[in-house]
A and B are shown apart, each in its own frame.
Chain A
Amino acid sequence: MHGRPRNPSKPEDEEASAAKASKLRALQSQFLHNHHSKLYDKGALELSAKLLEINPEFYTAWNYRKLAVEHCLSQPGSDPESILNEELRAVEGALRQNFKSYGAWYHRKWVLSKGHSSVDHEMRLLDKFQKADPRNFHAWNYRRFVAALKNISEEDELKYTTDMIERNFSNYSAWHNRSILLSNLLKRKAEVFPKEKILSEEYELVHQAIFTDPDDQSGWFYHLWLLEQTVTKDAPWLISCWPASGSELIISDSKSASSCTASPLSSYFSDGRVEMPVILYFNQAIKGVNTSTVTVRSVFAESKDLVWRPLSLSNFGSAQAWVAFLKFSEVKIDYSMSYEVEVSLGDSSGIVSLNGCPLTHAFQSKFMVRFQQPDSRNTDGQNIGSISWEDSNFQNYEGGPEQCNIIPPCIQLKMAKDHEPIASKWQVDILMNEIELFRELLSAADCKIGKLTLARLLTALDTLMLYNDTSNSCQMRHTEEILALYTDLMKLDPSHSQYYREEHSLTFLRQVSCSKENLLRYCWLYRNSALSDSRNLVCLRLNNLSLARVGSIENLLWVQMLDLSHNELRSIEGLEAMQLLSCLNLSNNKIKSFTALDPLRHLKSLKVLNISQNEIGKHSVDTTRYLCSSPLSHTEASDWRRSGLCSTDDAQLSKYWEAFLVFRDLTLVQLGITGNKVVNEDFRSFLLKILPTLERLDDTNL
């Protein structure tokens, strides 16, 4: 049994124990004999009850008793009442030995579902157990079962949890049950139980718990749940798209290796067919983006010919970011003209969140597209130079915000048609109230979970206010305070330091990306002196910032060249939405496996990748093994081996299958991998086979 100390045994004990053992052995073998011979007489039944009293975990005995009950009930002149009563007695006997026995509790549920026992009796039994152990989850589960079976109202059950909580604030089980009951009430009886009123009352209740004992977790977790109920909008909506509404795109076409040297206003793809992505980014994962829910009006292609793809790491047809490629090959291009493209969604239903909430806000985006005459000098595709990420190749981007076509979504949203503010007054009021309260609490006591809660409250408030902000420059007002809280927490609570580091990075990136002015400080011009033309690529340089995580991708969809080197990244989740990315530097981070690079599979335009100086191959345990698409998680939608490729070298394929899954769909031109333990001659030869377009591997030209 659990929780019992093991003491060394004395000789008298050993003798008694041996006798007990013989008795049990006899019972068990006799029982198995009865069971297999299907004997259900009184003596056999009593034997099974005795066995279960000693060993309630002997599950076959519970099965036997169910068979016996069914047998007895089917006999003519049977008395169901007494038969079932006998069962309840047997359960009670077993529970006395072990009140946490799954088999015993289930047997009781089974008996009850045969239509027996009064509510009062069950509730009295539960009361006894719950008083003895208020955290016995079997009892709580059984209580929920009985309540459902006998149609006890949620309001009554709510009152019971209030009683339990008032008796002891530290009753996590009671708080948990309360969250379940309230969720149901808020959903089903919204008119009688308005969210605003209920949540305010709940906040008051939980404050008592938190202020009585700030070190106890129950109240804090409940508070966290309340916060989520306060700010979460069930309905999905569009938070960002690319191209941005109102922008003018200049598209150049080139086949040379310098195809990634584009001006900030243009994008192009060197696979012969000219096409550009249209990216939609929502506030949560959704389903149902297709040609009947989204229309793209242009001269280039019929809206219904577009194929919308979810940019997700799993395969269930849902994602936060969706992309479709608009092809220009069908139309004869007039280089002096600007072509209009209009994207609209929300006019017809079909887009739903994972919880079934439909998209209600309609959205339109209009942008212009202009084509630049191809430069004859650059058509032979000579190797003009490779991308080198050294500081000397970058200079500050001098163009002012007006010249730059980068428009973060906070301004986009306002440019979209008028809509009601996303945040309601009562939400903002509650948040501000809580913030004041916790600032006060923290001035008196240094409490880690209190600081975390305050950081979360401030983040929630800033996010809500951002959506309501009608001014031209968005600011996250409490960034400094939030960053300070997380820095404090890293010191105060080192066991969770990785989590705090990630939250710190996310907060920082939110601040950086929420306004043009902030973003421009991190934009640099990449100028390779070997280039003969005057086009330059704008690079977003977020290196050396101790970033543990990337975020705010919705504001970074326009980025084509990204430097994330010299940070602390273990994962690059979110990057799959950056469909324009052609040059990416992830060197000198903490990436431990190829499965962590899974998001790169979606980046069809990626040409230059640097993952050198990471930790790939260093660890025997791959912690991101199931966070990517692979045969292990049954999410590979096609034969992963792709016949024709690597058909000869099975050994290499089974050794490097993770790398294969990431690289097989990419057409990289330049790759840096040195400084990872996995790299050796064998691996290099494997890479050369699966990346036929590669022209440069580390320092070698191929």
Chain B
Amino acid sequence: MVLYLSYSFSHLALLGYKTRVIGKMMELVSEKHVKYILSVEKYFCLRRRIVFESLVMEHLRMNGAYWGLTTLDLLGKLQVVNQDEVISWIMECQHESGGFGGNVGHDPHVLYTLSAVQVLALFDKLDLLDIDKNEDGSFSGDIWGEVDTRFSCIAICCLSLLRRLDKIDVENAVNYIVSCKNLDGGFGCTPGGESHAGQIFCCVGALAIMGSLHHVDKDLLGWWLCERQVKSGGLNGRPEKLPDVRYLSATHGLSLLQYPGVKAIDPAHALPVDVVNRILIGLYQKGISPRYRPTCEADLSFPNLR
């Protein structure tokens, strides 16, 4: 799941930067970043050099595309990429079922479907998707039935971006995630699973999208998450584990830190704020009816109280 985050590690390491954590300033040379990301994109597309490490990650190219392109957008440099090339490759990865695989020829899976949707959102090309064919509302990773809160969260993020959240029973989805809440306020991958920073990111994001953050014990979880920062300054994923840069994505972190020159990021959808606003706020302005149905009599009578 978090292999895609290794991109942050590789591009930073190659550019010779030391990683620092949230709270300390980071040196960032945007030009070099952009050049590096583009060079990585190129050698995947054209397969000029066959390197073992890249082959081993071939199946998650879709995730890599999401990370690289979102980073570029946050740095305001999305236009340097050949948009048509990227989009045609993405559509090649789509299957009959509507889902997307990690690369051309790979089976569809929710993990890569989200990345595909996110990249299409960046390019404002969501209309390319024939929405009715996607997502039947289940939260397994794929037809083989692996259940994990990551998948619930991914599905919800996907549906939100596609403005189809009404296709699922939101309350049910919320209840499932809440059943994965643990003694420390965190979330695991299934009910009873240990709290893990990655899962927590997914679950909290999904609850946010479904307007259910009141289920999160903000104080307890906030305290627990802050404890992930160890003496060296790095972040670990669970108590008494080693810090790992996978829990810190450089540019997303910088965005949240409001580093000058980096666009703001929406943490729940993991996309730039202007992209999310365009999708969720923009459409409402056109008078399209909302996606949510009221659940109690009070909501229906609300207009009368004005």
Contact = CB atoms under 8 A, between A and B. Distances in A.
Interface of A: 2-3, 6, 17-18, 20-22, 24-25, 28, 32, 36, 54-55, 57-60, 62-63, 66, 102, 106, 110, 135, 137, 140-141, 144, 170, 172-173, 175-177, 179-180, 216-218, 221-222, 224-225, 285, 287, 290, 307-310, 312-317, 325, 354, 495-496, 499, 502-503, 604, 619-622, 625-627, 629, 631-641, 643, 650, 653-654, 657, 665
Contacts of B109: 59
Contact of A654 (B188, B196, B211, B281): B281
A225 B165 CA distance: 34
B258 A634 contact: no
* Residue from A22, A55, A325 whose CB has the most chain B CB atoms within 10 Å: A55
A172 B240 contact: yes
Contacts, number: 232
A315 B60 CA distance: 37
A179 B60 CA distance: 36
* Residue from A57, A312, A502 whose CB has the most chain B CB atoms within 10 Å: A57
A25 B192 CA distance: 39
Nearest to B278: A654
A269 to B, nearest CB: 12
B50 interface: yes
A63 B222 contact: no
B81 interface: no
Contact of A631 (B2, B148, B290): B290
Contact of A172 (B192, B194, B229, B296): B194
11 contacts: A17-B52, A18-B52, A32-B106, A141-B188, A175-B183, A216-B240, A221-B183, A626-B268, A632-B266, A632-B276, A638-B302
B295 interface: yes
Interface string B217-231: 001101110110100
B282 A3 contact: no
B186 to A, nearest CB: 9
Contacts of A225: 183-184
B213 A627 contact: yes
B196 A315 contact: no
Given A63-B142, A620-B264, A636 B290 contact: yes
Nearest to A650: B285
B152 interface: no
A44 to B, nearest CB: 16
A144 B189 CA distance: 12
A317 B298 contact: yes
B168 to A, nearest CB: 11
A173 B194 contact: yes
Given A310-B296, A496-B223, A634 B170 contact: yes
A57 B103 CA distance: 13
B275 to A, nearest CB: 12
Interface in B272-303: 273, 276-277, 280-282, 284-285, 287, 289-292, 294-299, 301-303
B226 A495 contact: yes
Contacts of A643: 287
Contact of A222 (B144, B183, B263): B183
B227 A179 contact: no
Nearest to B145: A110
A633 B211 contact: yes
* Residue from B2, B59, B170, B298 whose CB has the most chain A CB atoms within 10 Å: B298
A310 B297 CA distance: 11
Contacts of A495: 226, 229
B50 A22 contact: yes
A308 B289 CA distance: 26
A636 B302 CA distance: 12
B105 A36 contact: yes
Contacts of B174: 316
Given A36-B105, A315-B294, A170 B299 contact: no
B295 A317 contact: yes
A55 B194 CA distance: 26
Contact of A314 (B105, B148, B212, B284): B212
* Residue from A36, A285, A635 whose CB has the most chain B CB atoms within 10 Å: A635
A632 B280 contact: yes
B25 to A, nearest CB: 16
A176 B181 CA distance: 11
Interface in B92-118: 101-102, 105-107, 109
A314 B208 CA distance: 10
A106 B102 CA distance: 18
Interface stretch (B29-37, B38-46, B123-131, B241-249): B241-249
Contact of B105 (A32, A141, A308, A621): A32
A141 B106 CA distance: 27
A57 B59 CA distance: 8
Contacts of B251: none
Contact of A637 (B6, B229, B294): B294
Given A314-B212, A631-B290, A637-B294, 10 more contacts: A60-B106, A106-B144, A140-B194, A144-B193, A217-B239, A221-B224, A317-B298, A634-B209, A636-B292, A653-B285
Contact of B240 (A106, A217, A310): A217
Interface in B53-86: 55-56, 58-60
Contact of B258 (A106, A218, A621, A636): A621
Contact of A634 (B58, B193, B211, B289): B211
Contacts of A657: 281
Given A28-B55, A176-B194, A633-B209, A218 B303 contact: no
A625 B292 CA distance: 18
A20 B220 CA distance: 48
Contacts of A25: 50, 55
The 5 lowest CB-CB distance pairs between A and B, nearest first, are: A317-B296, A635-B211, A633-B211, A626-B208, A225-B183
Given A59-B59, A627-B213, A621 B256 contact: yes
Contact of A641 (B2, B106, B220, B284): B284
A648 to B, nearest CB: 13
B18 interface: no
A634 B297 contact: no
Contacts of B59: 57-60
A638 B208 CA distance: 19
B8 interface: no
Nearest to A18: B50
Interface in B163-191: 165, 170-171, 174, 182-184, 188-190
* Residue from A177, A495, A621 whose CB has the most chain B CB atoms within 10 Å: A621
A638 B281 contact: no
A58 B3 CA distance: 12
B214 A621 contact: no
A316 B212 contact: yes
B269 to A, nearest CB: 9
